[in-house]
């Protein structure tokens, strides 16, 4: 089953019921959503073939959701590009068509003209005429979209599985999110969970929601949501919801989005030490994940995909692939997962520092930066170079230091630049939680 097929079923069974609401921008019923998705799919198939990639350069809105589901219905691979890294995402994903709105087509063409590639077709998703569309259903294991950063290949089966897993902890009849659909958890909550479960979703902008969260929720009735356990506004957001209505969760894009909200949800988690051996309850190690929500790998990165997505637990009674998250954690005797290795680094989220570092120089391998705190909360960034590239000595380090200082106001204690394939991974490289040495 795919999101597109489930959407068609929702439209047939509950045509006039609300599917998704954007405060200030209106509501789409299931029938309206399905009709507009078919129109976009029909338009896409006139200019692109199944399996090609389509980048979505649309602001969070009804048009974004219609564009994303339209790409999936057409059998293309969606690229839900966020606003901060569009140039790099498009260069990596190489889409054949770009989706915009009628109001942004000119600006989108101007942006595309600045890239090294050219010839992208631009489709305004809110200007296509209604048209019937007969879907050639993709296989569940076909790639549905690429999640950036990293170009994680999420299949149709992955996103449906993760939506069903999320539904096990979302007990309320209305789903709320303030995350954009380019965010893994935002896409799960704002698009996949409603389509898979039939529960209506209310999609806020973060700024608007935080301006008056209690007031925003007052008219919704019983509403629930999930938030990343590293969300910078977590305490403030939690206070706006009824007790238990917001669940703080461990989120990984490589696992589609959701891994656990305390206990692992519909998937297996192992805490692993050196040599791929399980650690006993209460002992820290690297968090490994296995389940139907674990993605296929990284786009155009087979070596990195094999290392991260194809691990084995030594002596496992049921041989299976495991995802190496690179995060540290503990499973207690009751099976609750506590993440211990992705706290703040010198007051900053490590993911933010890693993204800035990766974008600082073209010789840095994508998805291969790691930020850590050593004694005294001093920040260290470890980088891996693109295979075969040897930039002038000190050039990459200077670029990374400048980028991190300019964007985050942080002076790095050390920048470690390693050749391709030599970046350390896993808990065997940590000592007392202090860093890499």
Given this model, what pLDDT does residue 422 score? 64
Given this model, what pLDDT does residue 230 score? 84
| pTM for the full predicted model | 0.81
For the residues of 92-106, what is the DSSP string, one character each? HH--SEEEE-GGGHH
Given this model, what pLDDT does residue 327 score? 85
Termini Cα distance of the chain: 47
Given this model, what pLDDT does residue 377 score? 58
Which pair of structure tokens corresponds to residue 140? Answer: 């569940």
Closest CA to 430 of 286, 271, 282, 289: 286
Per-block average pLDDT, block size 10, for the chain (437 residues)?
96 97 95 98 97 96 97 97 81 94 95 83 96 91 92 97 97 96 96 98 95 89 93 92 95 96 95 91 93 96 89 87 90 92 64 86 87 71 88 92 88 89 46 32
| C-alpha 172 chain-centroid distance | 23
Q: Is 218 exposed, middle or buried (0-12, 13-18, 19+ CB in 10 A)?
A: exposed
Q: What angle do CA 348, 202, 64 make, to 5 degrees?
A: 75
d(CA 343, CA 348): 9
Given this model, what pLDDT does residue 432 score? 32
Which pair of structure tokens corresponds to residue 289? Answer: 């994940």
Residue ranges of domains in the chain, CATH in brackets: 3-247 (3.40.50.12780), 255-339 (2.30.38.10), 350-429 (3.30.300.30)
Given this model, what pLDDT does residue 427 score? 32
């Amino acid at each position: 089953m795919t999101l597109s097929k489930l959407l068609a079923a929702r439209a047939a069974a509950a045509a006039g019921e609300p599917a998704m609401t954007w405060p200030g921008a209106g509501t789409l019923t299931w029938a309206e959503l399905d009709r507009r998705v078919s129109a976009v799919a029909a338009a896409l198939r006139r200019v692109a073939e199944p399996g090609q990639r389509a980048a979505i350069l649309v602001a969070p809105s009804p048009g974004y959701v219609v564009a994303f589901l339209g790409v999936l219905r057409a059998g293309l691979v969606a690229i839900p590009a966020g606003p901060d890294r569009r140039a790099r995402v498009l260069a990596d994903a190489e889409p054949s068509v770009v989706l915009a709105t009628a109001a942004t087509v000119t600006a989108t063409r101007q942006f595309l003209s600045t890239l090294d590639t050219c010839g992208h077709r631009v489709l305004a998703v809110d200007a296509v005429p209604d048209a019937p569309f007969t879907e050639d259903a993709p296989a569940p294991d076909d790639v549905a979209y690429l999640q950036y950063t990293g170009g994680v290949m999420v299949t149709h089966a992955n996103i449906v599985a993760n939506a069903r897993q999320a539904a096990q902890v979302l007990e309320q009849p209305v789903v709320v999110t303030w995350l954009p659909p380019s965010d893994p958890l935002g896409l799960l909550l704002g698009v996949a969970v409603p389509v898979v479960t039939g529960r209506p979703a209310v999609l806020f902008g973060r700024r608007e929601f935080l301006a008056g969260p209690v007031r925003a929720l007052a008219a919704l009735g019983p509403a629930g949501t999930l938030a990343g356990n590293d969300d910078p506004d977590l305490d403030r957001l939690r206070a706006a919801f009824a007790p238990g209505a917001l669940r703080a969760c461990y989120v990984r894009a490589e696992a589609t989005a959701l891994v656990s909200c305390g206990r692992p949800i519909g998937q297996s988690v192992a805490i692993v030490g050196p040599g791929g051996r399980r650690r006993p309850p209460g002992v820290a190690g690297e968090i490994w994940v296995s389940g139907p929500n674990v993605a296929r790998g990284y786009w155009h990165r087979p070596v990195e995909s094999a290392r991260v997505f194809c691990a084995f637990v030594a002596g496992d009674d049921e041989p299976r692939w495991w995802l190496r998250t690179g995060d540290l954690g503990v499973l207690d005797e009751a099976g609750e997962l506590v993440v211990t290795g992705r706290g703040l680094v010198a007051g900053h989220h490590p993911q933010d520092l890693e993204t800035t570092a990766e974008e600082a120089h073209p010789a840095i391998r994508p998805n291969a930066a790691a930020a850590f705190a050593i004694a005294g909360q001093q920040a260290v960034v470890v980088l891996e170079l693109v295979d075969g590239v040897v930039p002038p000595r000190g050039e990459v380090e200077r670029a990374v230091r400048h980028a991190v200082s300019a964007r985050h106001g942080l002076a790095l204690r050390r920048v470690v630049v390693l050749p391709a394939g030599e970046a350390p991974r896993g808990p065997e490289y940590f000592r007392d939680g202090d860093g890499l040495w």
